[in-house]
Amino acid sequence: MPRELIDLLWRDHPDAPSGGARGPRARISTGSVVEAAIRLADADGLGAVTIRRLAADLGVSTMSIYTHVNTRDDLLVLMADVAHGSAAPAPEGGASPSADWREQVRLLAEANLDLLRRHPWLLEIADDRSALGPGTIAKYDHELAALAPLGLDDVATDAALTFVLDFVRASARALRPQPHAGELAASWPQWGPRLAGYLGDDFPLAQRVGAAAGEAMGGVGEPSLAWSFGLARVLDGLAALRP
């Protein structure tokens, strides 16, 4: 059994236990396992992140993975923390701290949307233990700083941050390609008319609005109307807190 999750999360910290120097030199490390897992998830989805597949990619036997990671669930936490740490920490300090809070929040939202588009598998990881890792904490820290111009107290600032991030998360979820989209598209020629038959004249409101919304989605290629609409709502909602 390797070290505990908390120490694996902080494996790059000078105080982290490094394990004795005895025995053969390790051919792989926790870090390399996590990196390989992220590459795999980026390419083929989280479902492709298999202990066996990981081991094959790293050129070791299946069970060797467990020398560097306790459990698949722990691995997911490590992956999430690394991804969080890779989110650009906002180029602040030098040029433009931009006291305009609306712009700050918009940038924060866009940075997070970008992160979730680069690593869609983050949406599938429910485990909150990554909140203990350095990447996640650093992200939390500089995002709180971005909300500082709002002038809220600590508890409200935290609530505002989760409010914004939850919106981004939901938007990213809607944007990502659905798992069974292909099959649905394939059988739509038959299903569409059949559905129309079932619906008949029921739910006129849903039929009209659904059609309009569907058409707006498949439009000129606007990435998502829901994004701009929702972001404007978020900003206006936060604006109501200002004096």
Residue from the set 53, 72, 102, 169 that interacts with a second copy by CB under 8 A = 169
Q: Please report whether residue 160 would count as binding a second copy according to CB under 8 A.
A: yes
Q: Smallest distance, Å, CB 85 to a second copy?
A: 12
Segment contacting a second copy (CB under 8 A): 49-57, 86-94, 113-121, 175-183?
A: 175-183
Q: What is the 3-state secondary structure (H, E, C) of 90-145?
A: CCCCCCCCCCCHHHHHHHHHHHHHHHHHHCHHHHHCCCHHHHHCHHHHHHHHHHHH
Give the one entry of DNA, a second copy, none that residue 25 binds, where binding means its C-beta sits below a cut-off of 5 to 8 angstroms depending on kind: DNA
Give the one entry of DNA, a second copy, none that residue 212 binds, where binding means its C-beta sits below a cut-off of 5 to 8 angstroms depending on kind: a second copy
Q: Please report whether residue 53 would count as binding DNA according to CB under 7 A.
A: yes
Segment contacting DNA (CB under 7 A): 63-71, 161-169, 193-201, 225-233?
A: 63-71
Give the one entry of a second copy, DNA, none that residue 96 binds, where binding means its C-beta sits below a cut-off of 5 to 8 angstroms depending on kind: none
Q: Please report whether residue 240 would count as binding DNA according to CB under 7 A.
A: no
Q: Please report whether residue 56 would count as binding a second copy according to CB under 8 A.
A: no
Question: Tokens in use for 7?
Answer: 């120490």
Instruction: Pick the closer one to DNA by CB: 20 or 200.
Output: 20
Q: Please report whether residue 12 would count as binding DNA according to CB under 7 A.
A: no
Instruction: Pick the closer one to DNA by CB: 47 or 237.
Output: 47
Alpha-carbon distance 33 to 104, whole Å?
35
Segment contacting DNA (CB under 7 A): 26-34, 92-100, 105-113, 206-214?
A: 26-34
Give the one entry of DNA, a second copy, none that residue 185 binds, where binding means its C-beta sits below a cut-off of 5 to 8 angstroms depending on kind: none
Segment contacting a second copy (CB under 8 A): 18-26, 31-39, 100-108, 126-134?
A: 126-134
Instruction: Pick the closer one to a second copy by CB: 59 or 190.
Output: 190
Give the CA radius of gyration of the chain.
Answer: 22
Q: How far is CA 132 from CA 31, 84, 178, 182, in A?
A: 17, 12, 31, 38
Q: Smallest distance, Å, CB 28 to DNA?
A: 5
Binding site for DNA (CB under 7 A): 2, 19-28, 49-53, 55, 60-64, 66-68, 71-73
